[in-house]
A and B are shown apart, each in its own frame.
Chain A
Amino acid sequence: MTKMASVRLFIVMATLQQWPLYQLDVKNVFLNGDLQEEIYMEQPPGFVA
């Protein structure tokens, strides 16, 4: 969990140094993780592959 104090420090530091601040967004973020545990699920009803 990101700490608010870190966010503020981050932005202030960049501003004082006159560094550019850029933003990126990751799409479908939770589809990226590789599972380490065995997880099984039933096919959702109505799903057609």
Chain B
Amino acid sequence: MALSKKYLTMAINACVQKLADSDLQIRAEMAKTLGELGSEEAIPFLCQSLENEEIKDVIFAIMNAFTVIHNSGSNQPMPENPKYNFPNAQNIQIVEQTDGGDVIAHNYASPPNLAEAATEIQNLLDQLAEKRPLTPQVIQQEIQENSDFKTRLKKSLAAGSIETLKVIFAPLGIPIEMLKAWLEIES
């Protein structure tokens, strides 16, 4: 039997926050747990962690989580409200072979309105910065109080511009996982 949506979301959010823990054992365990929860909703967070992770055992745990989720039959999320929707995505696959013999393969989903969304978010942040200094707390509060701001961020995330949001929010001391968690918890 599948977990109820409420508890599943709760559990995923809790584990996702700890995916960035300073203790590698905790990180590995969170990846394992997200795998066991079996919800594909955890995949974007796991991808994010995999990108930043340097410890082999944690990397293995994340990779295992992918395959466990992929082959798990339960706890798939509710199709009526997909959190990540890529309406305009086109998959572009680029394979480069460098002189060193390394092959680099990338898949990019590139929505056409990506740059536009980034500019919009930057403008909103600039406006906010005129009123208050941009600390993580101020931004979290703004997400809670300003539904327009939240919606735009969500749209941008849904459009696949994770990289762009990372570039915008990382210098403010907000890892993308945290931003996603804020957006999710408030929904």
Q: Do A and B bind each other?
A: no
Interface residues of A, Cβ cutoff 8 Å to B: none
Interface residues of B, Cβ cutoff 8 Å to A: none
